[in-house]
Amino acid sequence: MVSFGLKTVEWKDNSVIMIDQTKLPNELVYVKYTDFMDVASAIKNLVVRGAPAIGVSGAFGLALASLQSKAATREQLLSDLESARKILFETRPTAVNLAWGLDRIIQVAKQGNDVQSIRDSIVKTAQEMAEDDIKINMQMGKNGSVLFDDNDTIMTHCNAGSLATVAYGTALGVIRATKESGKNVKVIATETRPVQQGSRLTAFELKHDGFDVSLIPDTAVGYSMANKLVNKVVVGADRVLKTGHVYNKIGTYQVALMAKQHGIPFYVAAPLSTFDMKSTPQDVVIEQRKGTEVTQIGDRKTAPDGINVINPAFDMTPPELISGIITEAGVAKAPFEQSIPKLFEAKK
């Protein structure tokens, strides 16, 4: 049986429908947007989050912008789309999927000859990107499932599930596919402070879909590994460089380091749209988020007034800590500079 999971973002009747992830796990609420500016603030404020989900949401945002534009000529429409692209792009800097989604739509727009044909092709392409995201995740899941065994307990960090994609998930997609292949697996989800994507989203999603999942505080990763409560790790990614450097939710690096210390395989699952084949680690901007995410839990203050806070949203895991990077085109292993280009060749 295919456990499909939640549908995070979709296009319906010229509007974008999303699960409001800020309300989870207490309420499963869907929001509807017809203004691209609302999509931009939804991305900024984590109503929608997760690299592939924001890539597709950016594309849908441009689709809305094309419908909102009062342009009478092709050139005016392209200029309106470029302004909307900038606003959507500036919402979050680390996940490369956002730029990927926006750039793809702009390319399609430039190929159109008139206002109506541009609008039609943008809306069609954005919908195709959403459908492809599900197919890609399912293929990635299949490719990754062979790395996991019956009775494995798999640790994951943050949320790389249905809620981080259109549906199915990347890291959690691999776990879904492993279960669908008949293997019995359990999951340990880290809480993922400060915004708690692990406890609010991963624990919610896996419980919703009938998985055996246990929640741990981030500080219990070492304990769980040392006490053999976990035997493999799989996480998602916001950006993967051609060298195999992986950017993912803050805390991923320490999970990978501890996995290395305990001889536990550490896998990353990411579609090829998450790969940035041009940048070096020096080029990657790590998003810094507001201090109140750290000084409060919900509305409750948990730190003294005026305290200085460092709140990076992502960190970088170096290639030597990674056992394999699972994609829709296969699994890359070290040396990554050789194996990653081969995946792109295989996809052609």
Residue numbers at the binding site for ligand MRU (CB under 6 A): 49-52, 95, 158, 160, 164-165, 170, 197, 236-238, 248-249, 313
The residue among 74 and 142 lying less far from ligand MRU, judged by its C-beta, is: 142
Least separation in angstroms between residue 100's CB and ligand MRU is 13
Strand segments (E) across 106-199: 153-156, 186-190
Two tokens, residue 173: 């997609």
Which of 238, 283, 299, 315 is flagged as catalytic? 238
Distance CA 45, CA 48 (A): 8
Q: Which is nearer to ligand MRU, 77 or 174 (CB)?
A: 174
Rounded to a whole number of angstroms, the minimum distance from the CB of residue 51 to ligand MRU is 4
DSSP state of 201: I
Q: Report which residue's Cβ sits closest to ligand MRU.
A: 236
| Beta carbons of 194 and 84 less than 8 angstroms apart | no
Closest CA to 42 of 293, 264, 24, 53: 53
Q: Which two tokens stand for residue 12?
A: 């319906």
- Least CB distance from residue 109 to ligand MRU, whole Å? 26
Our CB check for ligand MRU shows the closer of 112 and 319 to be: 319
Annotation says 238 is catalytic: yes
Looking up tokens 């040396």, which residue turns up? 335
Q: How far is the CB of 74 from ligand MRU (least distance, A)?
A: 34
How many Å apart are CA 93 and CA 58, to the nearest integer? 13
What SS3 state is found at 221?
helix
> 118, exposed or middle or buried, with CB in 10 Å at 0-12, 13-18, 19+?
buried
When the beta carbons of 92 and 119 are compared against ligand MRU, the nearer one is 92
Catalytic residue numbers, as ranges:
238
